[in-house]
């Protein structure tokens, strides 16, 4: 074993540009697949009597300096646990490498000391660095004073210095600082310095390995991105400060990422007071807190393909000076809101409305999509204040199908904030409908009062269409014009007090019905000239006299 010469201090060629250039999470090219065999070997090495013997055993499978560092790193991260008891009683604690090895536990000082000692036995230059960290117990926006609180390492590979933190690579301590859990974290192995500075501020600023270097004030103000943020392929978040002030009751956050990612959020423990939209490369979140004061905001993410749980990737504090009462959302609103790459995957293509909010002045609106193959759609309208039953919530929406296009025509029963929920299922697989997404519909015009659409029965086929009357409520003692688009039918009758046949011309069935002397009007069809019975397809009510 060669003893290494005195390490050189960091110089120009060690420096990386700040801010991060979004290229790599590592400070040198690393192919993790090539480490698989070495990693598995290192985990199995079981030597506790001497550090020299341990290094000797680990290096059997390591050729390059990078492989030697990797083997040492893997062994420490999987065999040394964080000493939560020792942390609270440091006078009883030895950080000597041999003691750390034999005890199998230590605090950061011991991890970094063992790492440095093992590297020096392996002939690799390594430094122990100390400084401030945004680790366990860190509070957003806090200032750092007094002595440093954390220790990590720099290693010299391929003519450059690189940073790593085996304490944080090994696992995590719970919030009460009483229990350590081994949970390997690849992020802290040769971390890119522009990312490492996010939660490690060395006492000697040269060891940031950055140009320009950051001040302690920069470090305090900068947004803390934890390792989940980068490991999930997220790139940047705006704003970049930990505290956000609302402007006129609104605050906005956005995240950029490489690939399709699913997000959720909690503001003060709930997702009721925001509108989150998914973008192809990230998400946008508009918040409207309904109370003044300071609120904790957490943002969670997971890869779109995975059934994984959501991981917290960002935390902010939102300071709300005034409340925008108009943006109080209905309880039924689900996040994310509006169409996205996710709804496209479910077969809802080319939406007419890309925004999550649809504004209507006269209480009417219509949303169109091109539908993927074999999709049956169900839509319903929800509102906090009205007595809109589930059935009536569906009756205020009419589906119109033209080829593979679907139009949802909506007539609101009154002013207010509504949720339009859209469900789908495969026609070929007639199970339950799955919830896909929703829109927020806002109407401020208090004079709005649209009746529901007519009630339809099972014989009403999806590509039939009502042109008139659209209202389910017909005037009393009047002649009412009917115009319906239906195909494959022999006869159509409108049954009021008397029966009124409709005549067919150019694909439409038309005619007039008189509403005198009846409370209900039915549209009935003869599907086949040879049949003697009629099927009900639509039902209307008649206004009382």
Any idea which residues carry the catalytic annotation? 108, 150, 165
> Which H or E run includes 74?
helix 65-79
CB contact at 8 A, 126 and 120: yes
Nearest CA-CA partner of 526 in 484, 489, 488: 489
Cβ atoms of 171 and 9 closer than 8 Å: no
Instruction: Give all strands (DSSP E) within 107-260, no chain letters.
Output: 126-133, 150-157, 160-164, 171-173, 180-182, 200-202, 210-211, 234-238, 243-245, 251-257
Of 518, 517, 524, nearest in space to 539 by CA:
524
| DSSP secondary structure of 477-515 | T-EEEEEEE--S-SEEEEESSSEEEEEEETTEEEEEEE-
SS3 258: coil
Buried b (16+ CB within 10 A) or exposed e, 169-182: bbbebeeeeeebee
Q: Name the E strands within 281-344.
A: 282-287, 293-303, 311-320
d(CA 378, CA 157): 60
d(CA 60, CA 116): 19
Q: What whole-number distance in Å separates Cα of residue 424 and Cα of residue 330?
A: 22
Q: Compute the half-sphere exposure of residue 480: CA atoms within 13 Å on the CB side of its CA.
A: 29
């Amino acid at each position: 074993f060669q003893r290494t010469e005195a390490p050189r201090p960091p110089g120009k060629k060690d420096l990386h540009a700040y801010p991060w250039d979004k290229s790599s999470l590592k400070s040198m090219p690393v192919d993790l697949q090539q480490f698989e065999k070495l990693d598995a070997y290192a985990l199995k090495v079981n030597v506790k009597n001497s550090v020299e013997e341990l290094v000797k055993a680990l290096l059997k499978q390591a050729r390059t300096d990078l492989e030697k560092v990797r083997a040492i790193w893997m062994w420490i991260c999987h065999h040394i646990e964080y000493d939560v008891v020792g942390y609270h009683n440091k006078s009883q604690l030895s950080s000597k490498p041999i003691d750390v090895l034999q005890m199998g536990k230590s605090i950061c000082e011991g991890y970094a000391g063992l790492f440095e000692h093992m590297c020096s036995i392996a002939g690799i230059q390594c430094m122990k660095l100390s400084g401030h960290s945004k680790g366990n117990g860190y509070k957003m926006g806090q200032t750092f004073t007094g002595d440093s609180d954390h220790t990590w390492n720099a290693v010299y590979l391929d003519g450059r210095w690189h940073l790593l933190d085996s304490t944080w690579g090994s696992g995590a301590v719970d919030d009460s600082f009483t229990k350590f859990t081994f949970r390997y974290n690849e992020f802290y192995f040769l971390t890119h310095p522009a990312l490492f500075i996010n939660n490690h501020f060395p006492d000697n600023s040269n060891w940031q390995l950055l140009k320009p270097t950051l001040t302690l004030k920069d470090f305090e103000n900068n947004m803390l991105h934890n390792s989940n943020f980068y490991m999930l392929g997220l790139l940047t978040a705006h704003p970049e400060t930990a505290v956000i002030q609302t402007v006129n009751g609104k605050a906005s956050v956005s995240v950029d990422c490489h690939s399709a990612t699913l997000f959720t959020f909690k503001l003060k423990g709930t997702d009721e007071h925001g509108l989150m939209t998914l973008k192809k490369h990230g998400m946008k979140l508009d918040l409207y807190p309904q109370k003044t004061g300071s609120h904790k905001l957490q943002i969670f993410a997971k890869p779109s393909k995975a059934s994984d749980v959501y991981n917290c990737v960002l935390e902010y504090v939102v300071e709300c000076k005034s409340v925008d009462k108009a943006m109080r959302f209905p309880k039924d609103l689900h996040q994310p809101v509006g169409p996205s790459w996710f709804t496209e995957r479910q077969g809802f293509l080319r939406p007419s409305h890309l925004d999550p909010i649809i504004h209507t002045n006269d209480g009417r609106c219509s949303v169109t999509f091109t539908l993927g193959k074999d999709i049956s759609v169900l839509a319903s309208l929800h509102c906090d204040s009205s007595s809109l039953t589930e059935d009536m919530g569906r009756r205020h929406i009419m589906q119109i199908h033209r080829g593979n296009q679907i139009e949802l025509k909506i007539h609101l029963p009154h002013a207010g904030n509504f949720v339009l929920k859209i469900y789908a299922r495969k026609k070929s697989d007639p199970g339950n409908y799955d919830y896909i997404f929703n829109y927020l519909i806002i109407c401020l015009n208090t004079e709005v009062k649209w009746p529901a659409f007519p009630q339809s029965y099972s014989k009403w086929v999806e590509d039939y269409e009502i042109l008139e009357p659209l209202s389910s409520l017909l005037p009393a003692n009047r002649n009412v014009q009917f115009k319906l688009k239906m195909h494959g039918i022999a006869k159509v009758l409108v049954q009021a007090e008397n029966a009124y046949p409709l005549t067919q011309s150019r694909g439409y069935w038309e005619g007039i019905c008189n509403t005198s002397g009846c409370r209900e009007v039915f549209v009935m069809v003869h599907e086949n000239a040879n049949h003697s019975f009629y099927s009900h397809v639509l039902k209307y009510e008649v206004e009382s006299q």
